[in-house]
Structure formats: structure tokens, C-alpha cells
Structure 1
Amino acid sequence: MLRSNGYEQLLGSNSNNEFKLSVSAVNTNGCANKGTLKLCVGSSKNFNKNAQEFKVGSKPEAKEYNFSYNNAHRSSNVIALYNRKSFWAEDQQIGKAEIPLDNFDPNSPCTREIQLGENGPKVVLHATRNENF
């Protein structure tokens, strides 16, 4: 089923096409100077399930996220960065970007610097999109 913006959500393990993604660096561009950040990666419906926290000024944990998809031209991945607030306050979104999978070359590793929103933080992504037909 297509979403209103024309992209399909990433699917579970019923596809042979794999998309592997890791985030190696976060530059907040002055959006957050202290505290804890929360990085979320995944499809538009469940990117909050793949969240990790780290301190401002440090690198996120080296973690590879694995997704399956059917059509790279109609699938996307969401990356969002939040300034983590205390348990009773809602986290403040610093930046968010939806990235189509066809932005990454098939069957070869790619590294991209992505800006999360206009004037938002930048993240360095390492991704591999494996197509198996």
C-alpha cells in the first residue's frame, strides 16, 4: 500500500532485498550543546523502535540496522534526532529526514552526509543496499 507521499514502508523479512544502515557521526550544528540525544532510525511507522541515546559531543553506538524492502524506488527510511528530556517531558525533535532507498547505489557500500531538516543537524550514514532478484 502506498502512503500519501508516494513511498512504501520498509517490509519485514519476506523480501530478499536488504538495506543495511549505520550512523557513525552526528554534528548537531549548535542545535544542542549539552544533555542527551536520542537517534531514531527505521521506516516511517516504526522508527522510534530503533532508538539509541548518547551524550552531546560523543558518537552514537556502532550499530547496524537491517531492513528488507521490495522496491527501492518506493521505499524510504526515516532518521530523526531528538534532544532527550526528562521522563515527564516530551523529547524535543531537533531534526528529521526521510531518505528514499534509491539514493543509495545497489550492491555497493555508500557513505552519505545527510542534513536532518533545514538548518538541522547532520549525520554520517554508511549504507549497503543489496538487490537479490
Structure 2
Amino acid sequence: MFTKNSYEPLMPCNNMNMFKITVTSLPTNNFDGKCFIYVGPAKNKRSHVFEFESGKRSQSNQFEFSYTDPKRSSICLTMVNRKSFWSDDRKLGETELLISDFSTAKPEVKEIQLSNNGPKVLIRTQRVEMY
């Protein structure tokens, strides 16, 4: 449809590609205090946190992120241990996952090792692309 010599699209261009990630299984090592897993893009991963304590059953949390280019987008997983409220965080492991490594056909379950000798976590992911 044309209005005032310009094209007006019939539908708005909405490129909302979604990446959903759920941390389902955590290491059962005996850590002192609480552990945190930060999930998200490298620039603002601290705004998405998953907290758990050693020896206690933790609930899985699902995080959703939007992206435009799967080859240039990534998600960081960082696990830290905090022994007390006043102590500094001790990084246990970190890894970066490219969005393009995950399939759009079906949800995937992967075991990810954080750093070289870091703990392993089990994640469930789903990548949804809108065209």
C-alpha cells in the first residue's frame, strides 16, 4: 500500500529470534556457602543469575534472550562460589557458547564443562527463529 510516495508494509518487520536456556543439573561437589551461575551475553551476564547451595536441591530456571545474528551472538555461563556475604566471589569456571552451535529444529540437551578443569553443568536449550 502506498501513502505519500512511500511504501507502507502490510506487516511490521519483527525479527525476534529467541534463545531459551535452562540450567537443569548442577555439580554436587561440596562447596562452602552459595554458588551462582551467571547466564547471558558477556556484557550484561550479571543481570541473569541462578543461585544454589551445595547439598540442597535446586530448581531449574529458564532464561530467554533475543538475538539478530546467530553467528555473532553468544551466551556466557560463569560459575562462582561465595563463602560468606563479605567475601569475594571465587570463579570456578566460565565458558562461552555460540548461538549458531545449537539447532533450530528441536530442543537440545548438552553437558557443558566450564573452563578446562571446571565443573560440568547440564543445560537444555531451544533456539526459535522468526522469519
TM-score normalised by length of structure 1: 0.81
C-alpha separation between the residues in 2 aligned to 1:34 and 1:88?
14
Task: Provide runs of 4+ in structure 1 moved above 4 Å.
Answer: none
* Unpaired segments ≥5 residues, structure 2: 1-13
**Are residue 116 (structure 1) and residue 118 (structure 2) matched?**
no
C-alpha separation between the residues in 2 aligned to 1:85 and 1:35?
4
Q: Specify the SS of the correspondent of 2:71.
A: helix
**Are residue 128 (structure 1) and residue 126 (structure 2) matched?**
yes
Contact kept, 8 Å, 2:107 with 2:125, in 1: the verdict is: yes
RMSD of equivalent CA atoms: 1.7
* Shift in alpha-carbon separation, 1:48–1:59, aligned structure 2, 3 A: farther
Spell out the pairing of 1:1-133 with structure 2 (5 A cutoff): 15-27=15-27, 30=29, 32-133=30-131
Q: Specify the SS of the correspondent of 1:41.
A: strand
Once the two structures are overlaid, the 10-residue window that deviates more, 58-67 or 115-124, is 58-67
* Unpaired segments ≥5 residues, structure 1: 1-13
What is the deviation of 1:62? Answer: 1.9
**1:26-80 residue CA offsets vs partner (Å, 9 max, x unmatched):** 126x5x5332111111110111111122111334322110000001111000011
C-alpha separation between the residues in 1 aligned to 2:15 and 2:37?
26
Contact kept, 8 Å, 2:106 with 2:126, in 1: the verdict is: yes
What is the deviation of 1:15? Answer: 3.8
- How high is the sequence identity, in percent, across the aligned residues? 36
